[in-house]
Chains A and B, each alone.
Chain A
Amino acid sequence: MSEPVMESPLIGRPHSIQGQPADGQSAAQSGVSLGERPFLGHFSLRGKADDEALMAACSRVFGIALPKTPNTWVEGEGVVIGWMGPTEWLVLVAAETRHEWLISLREALADQHAGVVDLSGGQTLITLAGEHARDVLAKGSTLDLHPREAQAGFCTRSTLAKSAIFLRVVEAGERFEIVVRRSFADYLWQWLVDASEEYGCEILPADATLALSASADNDFDEAVNAS
């Protein structure tokens, strides 16, 4: 028997894997760039925010406290944690660290009244950036994503083009991440490509790393420092 291989739900969209700009457009011309961060670790963490022992255990394992403010995400070393509800958080980690994180989480929370569920195979993450990214989202969302309302650090569950999503604002008004269930991913991807077309849409190569402000491959640091 051959080894099982992970497959992105967007595997049927070859341009998303090969990273060729749609219609031969270059990045300079495009108002929107779309990409996938496949194979990330997605964990649902359930527990009570007023359970001090649990919060302390989480802080130890993540190196950062769980966000208790509704609709906010925080970032630790190699991990992004988003508030999903008063008893639920979404934990995102890079693909290659997924297994280790799962083991250390389960060990750290073994004696706690908490649940950790690995959702990694069931959802994927789509990135949307550019000066018209917000216009694309406005076509299928009722959220006010203007920087004055949704700053970097905002996250929420919502709907986009009738799909249930988790949205994270990485850079206010400019860079967004959308977590979507696997079975909706292909539909939502096609919807996003279609909705982006009028602004010029660049398709980025798939990138199985986590978007962290500390990582060298993005300009998030500058954006944070400037604000």
Chain B
Amino acid sequence: MFQIDCPWCGPRDQQEFSYAGEGGIQRPQDPSATTDAEWADYLFMRRNPRGMHHEQWRHVHGCGQFFQVTRHTVTYRIESIRRMGESAAAGGESS
């Protein structure tokens, strides 16, 4: 059974969670100054790596919180889990 360690609730079954898209995508600082291509890249283009992937998940049938997950897309092994606003490098400290 695949478990995800919610940063608020602890380990729970995967069925309590929903995937919430690729993580770490930043909205362009000045949308009016971006080109159509840059805007389209921000809106639509997503990575699809074979390997480590930075993702957002939501504990939808639990605390309801969004959080960050780094997961290997082949093995499903979860490398790290952080609350929103916590950086990967800081290892859980607020960035």
Give A residues with C-beta under 8 Å from B. 70-71, 84-86, 88, 142-143, 156-159, 164
Contact residues of B: prevailing secondary structure = loop
Tell which of B8, B9, B10, B15 touches A142, judged by Cβ atoms closer than 8 Å: B15
A156–B9 touching, CB < 8 Å: yes
In the complex the two chains form, what is the Cα distance from A125 to B76 in whole Å?
37
Is B47 among interface residues, defined by CB-CB distance under 8 A?
no
Q: Which of B23-31, B35-43, B57-65, B87-95 contacts A (4 or more CB under 8 A)?
A: B57-65
Task: Give the chain B neighbours of A158 by CB distance below 8 A.
Answer: 12, 16, 61-62
Interface size class of B (residues with CB under 8 A): 10 to 19
B-side interface residues toward A, CB under 8 Å?
1, 8-10, 12-13, 15-16, 61-65
Determine which of B1, B15, B62, B65 lies in contact with A156 in the assembled complex, contact meaning CB atoms within 8 Å.
B62
Q: Can you add 19 more A-B contacts, CB < 8 Å, to A71-B9, A85-B8, A142-B13?
A: A70-B9, A70-B10, A71-B10, A85-B62, A85-B63, A85-B64, A86-B8, A86-B63, A142-B1, A142-B15, A156-B9, A156-B62, A157-B61, A157-B62, A157-B63, A158-B12, A158-B16, A158-B62, A159-B15
Number of cross-chain contacts by CB at 8 Å: 37
Give complex CA distance A70, B15 in Å.
19
A-B contact pairs, 15 of them (CB 8 A): A70-B9, A70-B10, A71-B9, A84-B64, A85-B63, A85-B64, A86-B63, A86-B65, A142-B12, A142-B15, A143-B12, A156-B62, A157-B63, A158-B62, A159-B15
Asked if A70 contacts B8 (CB within 8 A), the reply is yes
Whole-angstrom distance between the Cβ of B57 and the nearest chain A Cβ: 15
Q: Which residues from chain A contact B65 at a C-beta distance below 8 Å?
A: 85-86
Give chain A residues whose Cβ lies under 8 Å from the Cβ of B13.
Answer: 142
Residues on the B chain within 8 Å of A142, using CB: 1, 12-13, 15-16
- Name A165's closest neighbour in chain B (CB-CB): B61
B62 touches A88 (CB 8 A): no
Closest chain-A Cβ to B6's Cβ sits at a distance in Å of: 9
Q: How far is the CB of A130 from chain B (nearest CB, A)?
A: 25
